[in-house]
Structure 1
Amino acid sequence: MAISLTPVAFQRVQRFVNETPGALGLRFGVTRTGCSGWGHVTDIARERKDGDTVFEQDGIRIYVDADSLALVDGTRIDFGKQGLSEVFMFDNPNATAECGCGESFTTQADLA
């Protein structure tokens, strides 16, 4: 599978990468957080780390660490307005449930 960016998210990431000296692409993964367990995280990738899987979309690289890959593989990243903020939004096929506020998610493996 892969990680993909919608056209709007692609433009936003491309702008961030082009404006950040030393940026290699987007770093995408998860961290333990919230009431459901996992939260998506994005940042500028400044280095390739051991174990990273790198996806590429029209010249933009997306770096995913080995621990996050199984939890985010197949995710489509979008960008848009949410209330008064502009945010990345994630359509993650591995998420089986989300908390009420939408900040965190669980997977089938978490339920076992």
Structure 2
Amino acid sequence: MTPANPIRISTLARQEIADTLRIHKIPDTYGLRVGMKGGGCGAQFLLGFDLPTENDHVYTIESIKVIIDKRHLMYVIGTEVDYEETEAGSGFTLVK
């Protein structure tokens, strides 16, 4: 059984994702991929736009298509996608 909404997306992140999709004319067949890169102590969160495969679960969270590899699901449950603007720059963050 998979959770209904395994991750959260902040209001600001949701707006930035929608703007990015629109501005770059990314087709609606793509979604926001959330996962892990690497393994062990060196594992890092992965975030980007991608097409789903047969190894993925696809969710609609706050009107955003989210793609999570079945093997990564247990590692990203409870994660929040946020967007931060600081003096050093701006970008998406993933916080568990």
TM over 0.5: yes
Q: Is the 8 A contact 2:84 2:91 kept in 1?
A: yes
Match of 1:59 among 56, 63, 66: 63
How far 1:14 sits from its partner (Å)? 0.9
Answer yes or no: is 1:37 the counterpart of 2:42.
Answer: yes
Give % identity. Answer: 20
CA distance in 2, matches of 1:55, 1:32: 23
Number of aligned positions between the proteins: 90
CA distance in 2, matches of 1:52, 1:16: 22
* 4+ runs deviating over 6 angstroms: none
- For the structure 1 residues 90 and 51, does the alpha-carbon distance in structure 2 shift closer, same or farther, using more than 3 Å as the test? same
How far 1:78 sits from its partner (Å)? 0.6
Any stretches of 5+ residues in structure 1 without a counterpart?
A: 93-112
Letter in 1 for 2:35: G
How far 1:21 sits from its partner (Å)? 3.0
CA distance in 2, matches of 1:79, 1:48: 23
Structure 1 length-normalised TM: 0.69
